[in-house]
Structure 1
Amino acid sequence: MKPIMKISPCILLLLSSFASLTSALTLTVGDKTSVCAATSLIVDGVLDYYQGTTYGGTIGLFKDPYYWWEAGEAFGGMIDNWYFCENDTYEDLIYSALMNQRGSDKDYIPSNQSLTEGNDDQSFWGFAVLEAMERNFTNPPSDQPGWLALAQAVYNTIWARWDTANCGGGLRWQIFTWNKGYDYKNTISNASLFFIASRLARYTSNDTYAQTAEEVYDWLTETSGFVVSSNDTTNAYTVYDGAGISGNCSDLSTGEWTYNYGILMAGCAYMYNHTSDTKWETELEKYVNGISIFYNTSNNNIIYERQCQQSGSCTNDQRSFKSIFSRCLGQTAILAPQHQSDIMKVIEASAAGAAQSCSGGSDGHTCGLNWGYGGWDGWYGLGEQISALEIIQNTLVLQYDAPLTNETGGTSEGDTEAGLDTNDVTNVNEITVSQKDKVSAAIVTTVTLVTFLGLSVWMVL
């Protein structure tokens, strides 16, 4: 198993020298044979961190310190790889993960995640089943909810948590009152609901989902202050992270992250493609202009996580944000042809850089964080792998049809009532976690931290 931190320059030099003797990753951008050969190696690297095939491991989960939500992100990318590259090597593994993590109510609120799961976490598994729905991934048997029904269950349970008592609406970050962040409303949770609703609206042509998308989007752009127009001539949006409910969400946390921009941009692209409404074309353009803060001509149009990457302070979570951002770039390119040229320039430049970064580790194709480095920068982990996977495979996106709908060949079975009987009228789902469970989780966290610190000291020595 590869480590998850940036290693020392001495070890980096040693591994880089060894990597030159192994199979380095090569890429011809946009060439299907080349892209699929490269991403096959990257997916192998993704699964270095997977615990579902190891003795005592849980199907659908990755090894510590990777949270449950990032597994949903990874499997969504692997579904697209299955589709783009027509490679069924991991089809059963992906299918088992999606089925095993549904939870007892089949809404992606499994009881073993109640100490960490937020609205955004649940949403990322919703994104994965939306990929399965739109790609006609292997359907569950007829006696089980289809991918569409599972996505509808995610939508229904999240929408039921819409909180009008604070900040004029919006979702809290956390689902459960005992989790830190329950008093915080953030862009990612609300943007994710908008994204899910917009995709369901397009797939089903059900106006209910479109109306939800409108309401959530209006709250983000008109009420909350999380999305604001730039005070210059760029016709761009600035997207902030969120705010605490105290003070009516007036004290903004102004961090700017790729995934917030990407999800809002792609959600607008889905709504524009579905409705042909000029409102969504106008909104979409503001995000296409706004995302330029994450790349520029001085770095050859290569994407970077500007909030933390240059300072070397990105957390495990933040090191994966370029993954969903890259997927959203591809979705926007295929759904909004007027922006294809500009977006594909960024995808292709970033993919070429990402491929160069995937030249590290003892295998010679471990991926790094900095795609503009010109090689492997010494960072590695699940986030680096899935980010490289997404940007490289999305160089193929225009070679395929737009995501399916139930009118263009989608086969997934739905259930508009899915999930409606699994939550109460408050912002908290009906689930019981005992004090023993909480104490056990704290002990596990402490033991993990001590072990991690011990290993860190050993590596330094």
Structure 2
Amino acid sequence: MFSIKSLIGLAAFSVLQVQGINLDVTSTDSIKSAASIIAKDLVGLYKESQIPGAPIGVLNESYSWWESGAMFDTLIQYWRLTGDSQYNQLVTQGLASQRGPNDDFMPLNQTISIGSDDQSIWALAAISAAEARLGGDQNVSWFDLAQATFDEQVLRWDEETCNGGLRWKILPFNAGYSYKNTMATGNFFQLAARLAVSTNNDTYAEWATTAWNWTQTAGLIDEDHNVFDGADVSTDCSAINKLQFSDNAGTFIAGAAYMYNYTDGDIKWKISLDSLVNRTMSVFFPSGIATETACESINSCTTDQRASKGVLGKWLVDTIAIAPHTSELITEQLISSAQAAVKTCGDDGCGLDWSGNAKNSSTGVGEQINALNYVQGLLQSHATIQSSSGETTDSVCYSE
């Protein structure tokens, strides 16, 4: 298990002066200060999108709808870890406004093109709100929103093609309807696992196991625990798209962590969880720094892909919280990634490429989500380390 001394050893040069941002990874005050700067920039980008007539809770049209949900999930994590509640009302309003007429995150402004993975990203934000006990609109239950989304996706579980899995798009006339998207099934897996932990209801755990088993049987997670992008029903899912994106891996890691917790450390889930984490560290943390390997080095990441490693980072931090033994596998990379991230942050926000070998020419919501999740995540590592050594912590943690 990592110790505070380990953190200090890894942080021999931990105080980084980066255009106004200092980060000392051994100091919770320094981490909170750095996180607050990045969070302010992230919220500023959201507020710029909230022009008269724009839907509440949605970024401007250059961003996919799901990224707004990921942003709110990141800000819930910000409050949970730092205790800074200044954005809670904004988050509450945004989540509630996009719940849709049936309380299932199918808002009318998105129905035509929505994907199952888009919908479940919002449901995962809702269950984060429930887990953290975020105060909400008196007419909204965060847990009920997550549960309603899950119930709806159960009805979409498609055994008529490829013997299971979720199609990417919900409506048949959308391009992507024939694609069994790994992210859709992975988010369903994670949502089921988190509902199982929240309710102690075996039905959710059974669905999580079904989703996991299908993903492995279909070859979307291979024997080395690589997580691939998906497959098309036209080939009965026999031709796997072997592109790897970090958020696909992250959602399965988080789901496996919750199943490990739910089953009181069942060896199956420990092996699956640890194997996923180890492979993810190998694929997405070259030189110990988070990298979207499919696109970053060739400067081809789409707007969606520019947020992927931040979503992974959020779920890695959740994993440390719910399965503390994984701190040994994750903390070193969390530190080095946070240190590298703040080097790219300036008055205009943070950059995408943290390798130090590229010039970051643009920034945006995804880049802020990325940097914030790794920087604020250091607070969870501190909490986990101090808990294991019997020390106290002032950071906000999940309730036991």
For residues 263-287 of structure 1, the C-alpha deviation after alignment (integer angstroms, 9 at most, x for no partner) is 1111111100111211101111210
Cα distance in structure 1, aligned partners of 2:36 and 2:71: 14
Say yes or no: does 1:258 pair with 2:246. Answer: yes
* CA spacing shift, 1:30–1:75, aligned 2, 3 Å: farther
1:59 and 1:31 mapped to 2: Cα distance? Answer: 36
Deviations 1:116-172 (A, max 9, x none): 21000001101111110111111331xx24111111011111111001100011100
Matched, 1:294 2:284: yes
Task: State the match for 1:378 in structure 2.
Answer: 361
1:248 is the counterpart of 2:236: yes
Give the residue type in structure 2 aligned to 1:283: S
Alignment of 1:70 with 2:64, yes or no, is no
Tell me which residue corresponds to 1:219.
214
Structure 1 unaligned regions, length at least 5? 1-19, 231-236, 409-461
> Residue 353 of structure 1 aligns with which residue?
340
Tell me how far apart the structure 2 counterparts of residues 57 and 248 of structure 1 sit (CA, whole Å).
41
Name which of 294, 304, 315 aligns with 2:291. Answer: 304
Give the 3-state SS of the residue equivalent to 2:234 in structure 1: coil
Corresponding residue for 1:103? 100
Q: Which has the higher contact order (CA 8 A, sep 6+)?
A: 1
Q: Which amino acid aligns with 2:262?
A: H
Q: What amino acid sits opposite 2:28 in the alignment?
A: K
Mapping 1:174-323, distance limit 5 Å: 174-222=169-217, 224-230=218-224, 237-275=225-263, 276-291=265-280, 292-296=282-286, 299=287, 301-323=288-310
State the distance in 1 between where 2:237 and 2:358 align: 42
Corresponding residue for residue 32 of structure 2: 36
Cα distance in structure 2, aligned partners of 1:328 and 1:243: 24
Give the share of equivalent positions with the same residue, in percent: 36
CA contact (8 A) 2:228 2:244 kept: yes
Q: 1:220 to 1:212 in 2, by over 3 A?
A: same
The question of 1:366 aligning with 2:353 is answered: no
Who is 1:414 aligned against? none
Shift of 1:336: 2.2
Cα distance, 1:23 vs structure 2: 5.6
Partner AA of 1:41 in structure 2: I
Q: Distance in 2 between matches of 1:306 and 1:336?
A: 26
The amino acid of 1:25's aligned partner reads I
The CA deviation at 1:319 is 0.4
Larger Cα-atom Rg: 1
**For residues 262 and 323 of structure 1, what CA distance do their matches in structure 2 show?**
10
Separation in structure 1 between the aligned mates of residue 398 and residue 150 of structure 2, nearest angstrom: 19
The 2-side partners of 1:309 and 1:375 are apart by: 10
Task: Please provide the CA RMSD for this pair.
Answer: 1.8
In structure 2, do the counterparts of structure 1 residues 402 and 212 end up closer, same or farther at CA, with 3 Å as the change threshold? farther
- What 5-or-longer segments of structure 2 have no aligned partner? 1-16, 384-394
Runs of 4+ in 1 over 4 A off after TM superposition: none
Alignment size in residue pairs:
369
SS in structure 1 opposite 2:363?
Answer: coil
Shift of residue 376, structure 1, vs aligned partner: 6.2
Q: Tell me the residue number matched to 1:15.
A: none
Q: Could you say which residue in structure 2 is the equivalent of 1:411?
A: none
Deviation at 1:335, TM superposition (A): 2.2
In 2, are the aligned partners of 1:62 and 1:68 still within 8 Å (CA)?
yes
Q: Is the 8 A contact 1:199 1:270 kept in 2?
A: yes
Q: Which amino acid aligns with 1:244?
A: D
Q: Distance in 1 between matches of 2:341 and 2:141?
A: 35
**Aligned-partner SS, 1:185:** strand
Aligned mates of 2:19, 2:292 — CA distance in 1: 28
- Cα distance in 1 for partners of 2:398, 2:329 equals 20
CA displacement at 1:112 relative to structure 2: 0.8
Alignment partners' CA distance in 2, 1:288 and 1:136: 28
Corresponding residue SS for 1:227: coil
In structure 1, the residue corresponding to 2:180 is in which secondary structure? strand
Within-5 A mapping of 1:58-97? 58-97=55-94
State whether structure 2 residue 44 is matched by structure 1 residue 48: yes
**Judging changes above 3 Å, is the alpha-carbon distance between structure 1 residues 33 and 375 closer, same or farther for their aligned structure 2 residues?**
farther
Query: For the Cα contact (< 8 Å) 2:278–2:329, is it kept in 1?
Result: no
Q: For 2:338, give the aligned amino acid.
A: A
**Partner of 2:235: helix, strand, or coil?**
coil
